[in-house]
Structure 1
């Protein structure tokens, strides 16, 4: 973990009926992210216990905000070329998303 890293944290409420399709799309998107300049690492997490609402969380660590912005543009391009609309898919599958960028707090 670098003090300058930026973390993209996406939290989702995914109905069981949408899980398989959603995870397939997430894995496809993360395959694109992993090839982008400035990508450090990622994790795909599924809730196994606890009262939280969000049952799927993805985290991607980036070298900078600029790297995130460039990756976002590349992912949008890939989605457009493949005819995939993430917002329509989330709405169709009844998935709620909470998406934000974070930095580590200094100790």
Structure 2
């Protein structure tokens, strides 16, 4: 499968300073799950170091297909449920705002 057909999941977060460590630990844990999924290609977890942008944490995961993303979502949800972690509740408690979308190369 050519890289041009890959799908990129881009998650951008506004994370309050006092929530950074807890939120980042959860992101890194989740990416450990993602890296084990079929169709995963590569990922990056990025933190803003300068500039006026409001999103200070950005994650990018490259996948072979939309089907791989869909299957990974189910796997992540299952592992989160098993461990008692609810991402939406955690983000609300920490005051984290998210902008999440899939992208393709032009």
| Superposition TM-score tier, normalisation by shorter sequence | over 0.9
Alignment of 1:1-107 (within 5 A): 2-105=3-106
Distance across 2 between alignment mates of 1:27 and 1:95: 16
User: What TM-score, normalized to structure 2?
Assistant: 0.98
Question: 1:3 aligns to what SS in structure 2?
Answer: helix
CA deviation string 1:27-69 (max 9, x = no partner): 1000000000000000000001111000000000000000000
User: What TM-score, normalized to structure 1?
Assistant: 0.97
Distance across 2 between alignment mates of 1:24 and 1:12: 14
1:12 CA displacement: 0.1
Runs of 4 or more above 2 Å deviation: none
